[in-house]
Chains A and B, each alone.
Chain A
């Protein structure tokens, strides 16, 4: 369940709100649920107008690197 998308923070506003950008679409969302500091350029996971968490970009890169690693390992065995 729960449609949520990673989107980039492009500006921080008053009252724990911010503007996100997803593929050029901009929307105002609430940061009221976040327990971490947020800065412009961070990615957050957005659901029903709220950021649920900051996306951990290091972890995201690690997951993608793991895929790449699996692929190169596979190519070597060919």
Chain B
């Protein structure tokens, strides 16, 4: 598998790790947030913390779309799935996420709702074409990486007049969330950061320039990093060097896929079909203005929020669940009373334990040895 294996070489990793060790100042903390859950997953899967000096602290961020989706939206999706004559399609990641009272799409399916896992939104379109007498709702989640395929599907549905297809849109935006984390940096119980390991695949779409504003405004270095372990180590090395030089701004380690301007065509497809929501709730971060996308009125026929009565839900979290603080980077999973006790991957009480990208799931799967 070309361009995968070469970036997982153990000897090179050791060499970069040595270089990091040589560059760090012993008396200085390096608090680096990996924004993406994909990075969290890779960091633990490859045991990267073991390779780093003690004063480099990797703090996981809110970049797991499954984890940041507020429980009210999950409740709404479950309610949509339970409507008569509906087939609700979504990515495998969403099926086990607990809503209010631990209900999930899988549990709704067990009780008779027609819930189907798809690999791509195109598969949902195909299901709609095959089942014209049914309403097919696609439960769309994800950051900017997963949004353009939704845009293409909306265009296609309109072109084909596929009137039994609609999208329950929950796409959210990365730079806004980053800014929100930094905004209340001085507030109590907020996260202290020296730099960001920036998203890999989100940045393919939005480009590395998209983080310039945040980096400059809050004077933090951001290094866009690939998802393979050598990418991560190189990015950490770059961040250490930038922090030592007291410089800030955006640098790109993942040059083989990310361009400064991003993927212009994908951006245009999104702009054609989707627009900013005035506000959207994020689990852990609360309501943030302009932090999510909704379907434009020209495509309203394909917007599940307009086609179906949405159930109003307050969305009740488990009382002791610390997902919120964990998503803000303020707490580590071990600090949650439920972690690995009441809350396990078999019986997740919070979203961070469900998604394999969730900080809790990653710590549970890879971190309990120590």
Contact = CB atoms under 8 A, between A and B. Distances in A.
Interface of A: 1-6, 8, 22-23, 30, 32-35, 43, 45, 47-50, 52-53, 55-57, 59-60, 62-64, 66-67, 70-71, 74
A50 B123 CA distance: 12
B264 interface: yes
Interface string B142-160: 1101101100100000000
Nearest to A57: B256
B327 to A, nearest CB: 13
B119 A48 contact: yes
A8 B4 CA distance: 12
Contacts, number: 128
Contact of B256 (A1, A5, A35, A59): A59
* Residue of A1, A3, A48, A59 ringed by the most chain B CB atoms within 10 A: A1
5 contacts: A1-B37, A2-B143, A33-B263, A34-B265, A49-B123
A8 B257 CA distance: 14
Interface residues of B, number: 53
Contacts of B19: 70, 74
Interface of B: 1-4, 6-7, 9, 11-12, 15-16, 18-19, 36-38, 63-65, 91, 119-123, 142-143, 145-146, 148-149, 152, 199-202, 204-205, 227, 230-231, 234, 253, 255-257, 259, 263-266, 269, 357
Contact of B146 (A2, A67, A74): A2
Given A6-B2, A52-B204, A1 B357 contact: yes
